[in-house]
Amino acid sequence: MNLPPTLNGERVLVALGGNAMTSPDGSATPEAQRHAIEGAMKRVADLVAAGARVALTHGNGPQVGNLLIKNQLAAHVVPPVPLDWCGAQTQGTIGMLILNALEGALAARGLASPVAVVVTRTLVDGADPAFGAPTKPVGRYFPAADARRFIAMGQSWAQAGERGWRRVVASPEPLEIIDAPAVDALMSAGYVVVSAGGGGIPVVRENGALRGIEAVIDKDLVAALLGRHIGADILVIATDVDHVMIEYGTPRARPIGRTTPERLRRLAADGEFASGSMGPKVDAALRFIAGGGDRAAISSLDLIGEAAAGTAGTVVEREATGRDQRSSDKNTKPGR
């Protein structure tokens, strides 16, 4: 992969989707996860080799789902741990796998870039309306009798048709990445940094202290916020398709290539992007650009280098005048 010289030195934040963490059939066995992550890190290493300064975020849905199953099946033996604990555990586990795989992929290319993992917290508002109406499904389906047992423990569950019942949790708006300064400092020291896995560990501030809270924060929206905190130039949202599509599922379906923020906003307002799939990714791309980013791209994992360069995927950019001004500001910022 050959990226243009103009990308050299740019801060590129790559938000890895679930396809980077599991096998193509969705298997999340330890071996399947290790194999998938090793493949993904080869693409990330190519990006580093091209001169980009890289930060990574990642999903953790299947992994948290597995922990919740263990919670539920063993609830009569050991007390279930809260969801924020599950998020922290999966950040550590996936971070370790990425750390090992990326170090190996970089070494294979003769690169000595160090890699670090930051267990990351994301601040939310305890009064966010999402807590009053939890809708984000997590974990597996259970029969009604089991769901009633977990409801008695204080959990929220919803019936999902013939498949049974499924736990639902709040998905509040991310307000601040608490540990972003550590990510920024490590990047300035030359590290490739993995952080904000699964949208970060949700925390609220009470009487000046932070406390974990049970919720799932959208990982792509968190990536957009993290990008603003660390001064990322480019956000690449890696998913399992090459482009965002319009009129998806119809004979008129067609990909969106290079586009403008205005057009994406208009399409989103027209309901083109489903809330459970492309909607949050498009929203994240628009937020990143609105927050000062130069380029946001949504594409497949295999094309993250080309997407970062703006030559593949669905690409949206700031106006040239704004980008030129931001480049001038960036070049005078300490630590950059």
DSSP 28-41: --HHHHHHHHHHHH
Catalytic residue among 39, 70, 126, 136: 136
pTM of the model: 0.88
What pLDDT score was predicted for residue 6? 57
Q: What is the mean pLDDT of residues 137-155?
A: 87
pLDDT at 3 over 70: no
Specify the pLDDT at position 76: 83
> What CATH number is attached to the domain comprising 79?
3.40.1160.10
Pick the catalytic residue: 19, 71, 95, 231? 19
Which of the two residues, 1 and 255, has the higher pLDDT score? 255
Residue at 327 is within a domain: yes
What total of structural domains would you count in the chain?
1
Q: What average pLDDT does the segment 59-63 reach? A: 89
pLDDT band of residue 327 (cuts 50, 70, 90) is very low
Task: Output DSSP code: residue 312.
Answer: S
Q: Is the pLDDT of residue 329 over 50?
A: no
In a domain, 158, yes or no: no
In a domain, 289, yes or no: yes
The confidence score (pLDDT) of residue 258 equals 94
* pLDDT for the residue numbered 21: 83
| Residue that the structure tokens 């919803």 belong to | 158
Mean pLDDT, residues 298-305 taken together: 93
**Does residue 137 belong to any structural domain of this protein?**
no
Choice among 87, 95, 199, 219 that is catalytic: 219
pLDDT at 5 over 60: no
Catalytic one among 59, 200, 227, 281?
A: 281
Of 17, 18, 65, 313, catalytic: 18
Judge whether 182 lies within some domain.
Answer: yes
pLDDT, tens only, 81-136: 899 999 999 999 999 999 999 999 999 999 989 999 999 999 999 999 999 999 88
Q: Specify the pLDDT at position 73.
A: 82
The reply to whether 281 belongs to the active site is yes
Over 90: is that where the pLDDT of 170 sits?
yes
Whether 236 contacts 12, CB under 8 Å: yes
Q: Residue 151: CA atoms inside 13 Å, Cβ hemisphere, count?
A: 13
Checking phi first, is residue 329 left (phi over 0); if not, alpha (psi -120 to 50) or beta? alpha
159 within a domain of the structure (yes/no): no
Range of the domain at 85: 5-122+177-202+212-331
Domain annotation covers residue 129: no
User: Does 168 map to a domain?
Assistant: no
Indicate the range of 167-181, 249-263, 315-329 predicted with least confidence: 315-329
